[in-house]
A and B are shown apart, each in its own frame.
Chain A
Amino acid sequence: SYVLTQPPSVSVAPGQTARITCGGDNIGSNSVHWYQQKSGQAPVLVVYDNTDRSPGIPERFSGSNSGNTATLTISRAEAGDEADYYCQVWDTLSDPLCVFGTGTKVTV
């Protein structure tokens, strides 16, 4: 199966920049989607197709994807950004077809 590896936690000071990585074999050839899950809530789409922000998501959130690493960047971090973040890809050669990263807890 295809494995996506994320750091368990990232800590950022308010107003600073947080970078969450998602590592996978040649992930740059996939479309990567990012989800934010606040405590006790359903996941919410943040970035899709590597770089596109979901409607209503602040411009402070941005994504990139190249080589073996995709990255979600949160600029000017706010207390409200505290959540777990998951990357996700579809891989028709993998079981399961839909693969989530291991998740990163962001603390502001």
Chain B
Amino acid sequence: VQLQQSGPGLVKPSQTLSLTCAISGDTVSSIDSTWNWIRWSPSRGLEWLGRTYYRTTWSYDYAGFLKSRITIKSDTSRNQFSLQLVSVTPEDTAVYYCARDYPFPGWLDPWGQGILVTVSS
């Protein structure tokens, strides 16, 4: 399984951060996996942001501190999932990772390569 991330590395304050994670070797609709977004910064370490997964329907779980700003979507036609974070501030500057949790609830492996997103004007 491999995860390939894409998206811009610079976002202006108050705008929307958008990242995509393309999956190979598994499917986003797998009933054994969940698909997660995590970020890392020197001051806060690793922070889990949220996940999506499919059982009989699609489900989404988000970290409470982001709940009003975060959306995770799945795209079965492209076998990928995405992260949107609205109204970003410099505090959202971090390296963003996607990762698979398997077998649910299991461990996070593999991880995407990470994208440094800087929030700055």
- Interface locus among B25-33, B45-53, B84-92: B45-53
Give residues in B with beta carbon < 8 Å to A. Answer: 36, 38, 40, 45-48, 51, 61, 63-65, 97, 101, 105-114
- Verify B108–A45 contact, CB threshold 8 A: yes
How many interface residues does A have (CB within 8 Å)?
25
- Verify B113–A42 contact, CB threshold 8 A: yes
Given contacts A98-B36, A100-B47, A103-B45, contact A33 B61 (CB under 8 A): no
- Verify B48–A48 contact, CB threshold 8 A: no
A-B pair count, CB < 8 Å, reads 62
Closest to B48 in A: A98
| Distance (whole angstroms) from the CB of A44 to the closest CB of chain B | 7
- Verify A100–B111 contact, CB threshold 8 A: no
Residues of B within 8 A of A99 (CB): 48
| Distance (whole angstroms) from the CB of B27 to the closest CB of chain A | 21
- Interface locus among A12-20, A68-76, A88-96: A88-96
Please pick, from B36, B65, B112, the residue contacting A42 in the complex, using a CB distance under 8 A.
B112
What are 16 A-to-B residue pairs whose CB atoms are below 8 Å? Answer: A33-B108, A41-B114, A42-B111, A42-B112, A42-B113, A43-B46, A43-B111, A45-B109, A49-B107, A54-B109, A88-B107, A88-B108, A95-B63, A97-B63, A98-B51, A101-B45
Residues of A within 8 A of B114 (CB): 41-42
Residues of B within 8 A of A61 (CB): none
Residues of A within 8 A of B38 (CB): 98
Residues of B within 8 A of A86 (CB): 45-46
